Amino acid sequence: MNRGAACKHIKDKGHSLSKTFDSVFKGGTVVNQDGVGRGDIGVRDGRIVALGDLATADAGEVIDATGLHILPGVIDSQVHFREPGGEHKEDLESGSRSAIMGGVTAVFEMPNTNPLTTSADALADKVKRATNRMYCDFAFYVGGTRENIADLPELERLPGAAGIKVFIGSSTGNLLVDDEASLSRILSVIRRRAAFHSEDEARLNARESARREGDPSSHSEWRDGKAAMISTERLVRLAHEHGARVHVLHISTAEEMAFLAHHKDVASVEVTPQHLTLTTPEIYERLGTYAQMNPPLRDAAHQAGLWEGLRLGTIDVLGSDHAPHTREEKDQTYPASPSGMPGVQTLVPVMLDHVNAGRLSLERFVDLTSHGPNRLFSIAGKGRIAAGYDADLTIVDMAAKKKIDESWIASKCGWTPFEGRAVTGWPVGTVIRGKRAMWDGEIVGAATGQPVRFGEALARG
Ligand code: DOR
């Protein structure tokens, strides 16, 4: 498809058509709601104002994207950047550097920091720390607890809030709502879509003896598929009872995926690149405790179920669950070793490699990483390459052959479970509100991170 003829300028107050654009991204192959086709993108005041053939346009800067694909900015809707309280493993600045190095333009960050993000003050503190210090744009989930249920309708609509996050099963940090009565109360009060870590705490507690000292592979036996399924069934039942929208994070089992396909009216679904890519038992033999995460990595049969969910459209978004821990922490003997692995920087190359291998289309990738977050969370003005939207772009070289190398990782943790992986497809440019943040593997812009705005809280954002 050639959309060269479809050039349209948008006039708005104070701008003449002669000095038309601050910048033009030229000659790239644009992937958006129109499909895949050659076209230029005109940007003014940080927003997309024109699409089509802009060969003769007057622009402050012309960025040549010939031979490259231009995607809407990739939004990673699940990361843990550890600030405040865990800055030895990551902070908002270092996590965001890792994000833009990997082609990610915005992140939603999780509340299991120290202190927890469970109050308006804690949220405002994170927004203040992040603004103009993070390299990408951001929103923060507010943790739902038994104590703050009455405040959730107010908290979920505060500026910078991505919504409410609830840990139904315990993981890193001290957030846990494991009783049905409290979960039910949370679902009865929230109005936005809320996100859930879904593993059944009672079953996890009952099965603790399944953990074998020094054997991280027993992590997947302890936190078995049934623990995830029990919790997800309960969550969906309560969501129907209350007419609530639930976002079920990092689905790891084939059974949950098949079940969730029947409940798309209330439930949206996330998977991680690592659950789609790494399989047990092999991964524990290779990485030991570095492969330990919650919910755990699983075998090839579960992974096939996840890919089937991706093919059928059951999966709405990809999240990296970027959860860095230092090597020193990971080197402890299982089960003392913490769960979690970094991922914000490797999401794009790992998934582009799957695209090149024919496992999903580039359009489906965009659906999962831009259109999906835009739709689920009602993001205002991000997630599409369309006039009026922020000029957030992930520019990729689909033909680049590279090896993922730890020396490239900008996260403070300094390691990746994908070390040594040969991939085809690589992020070469990260553009945030019209400005290049990363180009050709170098950070080229200042840290100008701003809160993502949401349709359900516009007046406050
Ligand atoms: O493995 C995990 N690590 N899963 C989670 O849900 C939390 C995360 C962390 O914060 O380390």
**Residue 134 within a domain:** yes
Name the nearest CA neighbour of 298 among 333, 242, 254: 254
* 129 in any annotated domain: yes
What is the best residue among 175, 287, 294 to mutate for testing ligand 1's pocket, by most ligand atoms within 8 Å of CB? 294
Output the CA angle 196-329-108, nearest 5 degrees: 30
Q: In 295-452, where does DSSP find H-type helix?
A: 300-312, 327-330, 347-356, 362-366, 372-377
Question: What is the 128 CA–ligand 1 centroid distance (Å)?
Answer: 24
Whether the CB of 172 sits within 6 Å of ligand 1: yes
Residue 91 has which token pair? 């902070």
Output phi, psi for 69, to 5 deg.
-100, 140
What's the CA gap between 451 and 127, in Å, rounded?
A: 7
pLDDT at position 170: 81
Between CA 347 and CA 355 the distance in angstroms is 12
Q: Domain for residue 264, yes or no?
A: yes
Query: Distance between CA atoms of 419 and 424, rounded to whole angstroms?
Result: 15
Ligand 1 neighbourhood includes 197 CB (under 6 angstroms): yes
Q: Is residue 3 part of a domain?
A: no
Helix or strand run (H / E) with residue 330: helix 327-330
Ligand 1 within 6 A of 171 CB? yes
**C-alpha 71 to ligand 1 mean position (Å):** 29
| Distance from the alpha carbon of residue 274 to the mean position of ligand 1, in angstroms | 13
Whose CA is closest to 350, among 309, 404, 430, 296?
A: 404
Q: Which atom of ligand 1 is nearest to the CA of 324?
A: 11
Q: Name the residue of 108, 166, 171, 344 whose CB sits within 8 Å of the most ligand 1 atoms, as the mutation to test its pocket.
A: 171
Ligand 1 atom at shortest distance from the alpha carbon of 292? 1
Q: Are strands 246-248 and 194-197 parallel, antiparallel or unpaired?
A: parallel
**Which residues in the chain land under pLDDT 50?**
1-18
| 80 C-beta closer than 6 A to ligand 1 | yes
Told to judge if 316 belongs to the known catalytic residues of this protein, a careful annotator would answer no
- Ligand 1 mutation pick, 83, 107, 112, max ligand atoms within 8 A of CB: 112
Compute, in angstroms, the gap from residue 338 CA to the centroid of ligand 1.
Answer: 8
- 112 within ligand 1 shell (Cβ under 6 A): yes
∠ CA 31-32-38, rounded to 5°: 45
Task: Report the residue among 165, 339, 341, 344 best suited for mutation to probe ligand 1: largest number of ligand atoms under 8 A from its CB.
Answer: 339
The residue contributing the CA closest to ligand 1 atom 7 is 172
Coil vs helix vs strand at 432? strand
Residue 11 inside a domain? The answer is: no
Ligand 1 atom index nearest CA of 110: 10
Tokens read off for 456 = 């359900």
Cα 294 to ligand 1 centroid, rounded to whole Å: 6
Q: Of 76, 91, 316, 321, which residue is the catalytic one?
A: 321
Which residue spans within 201-307 are E strands per DSSP? Answer: 246-248, 267-271
The separation between CA 430 and the C-alpha centre of its own chain, rounded to angstroms, equals: 15
Interval between CA 339 and ligand 1 midpoint (Å): 6
Ligand 1 center from residue 275 Cα (angstroms):
14
**In the chain, what percentage of residues exceed pLDDT 90?**
92
Kindly report the protein residue whose alpha carbon is nearest to atom 10 of ligand 1.
172
Write the CA distances from 419 to 203, 286, 343, 416, integer angstroms: 34, 11, 11, 5
Q: What are the structure tokens assigned to 403, written together?
A: 């090896």
Task: Tell me, yes or no, whether 187 lies in a domain.
Answer: yes
Residue 103 lies in a domain: yes
The atom of ligand 1 lying closest to the CA of 82 is 10
User: Tokens 């009060």 label which residue?
Assistant: 189
293 CB less than 6 Å from ligand 1?
Answer: yes
CA 216 to chain centre: 26
Q: Is 198 in the pocket of ligand 1 (CB under 6 A)?
A: no
User: Can you tell me the distance from the alpha carbon of 274 to that of 255, in angstroms, rounded to the nearest whole number?
Assistant: 18
Q: How far is the CA of 220 from the centre of ligand 1 (A)?
A: 14
CATH number at residue 125: 3.20.20.140
The protein residue whose alpha carbon is closest to atom 3 in ligand 1 is: 340
Instruction: Please identify which residue in the block is written with the tokens 């300094």.
Output: 414
**3-class DSSP state of 285:** helix
| Separation CA 29–CA 39 (nearest Å) | 6
Sheet of strand 8-9: strand arrangement: 8-9, 47-52, 40-44, 21-26, 59-64
CA of 413 relative to ligand 1 center, distance in Å: 14
The structural domain count of the chain equals 1
Q: Which domain holds residue 257?
A: 73-377
- Give the Cα separation of 371 and 257 in Å (integer): 21
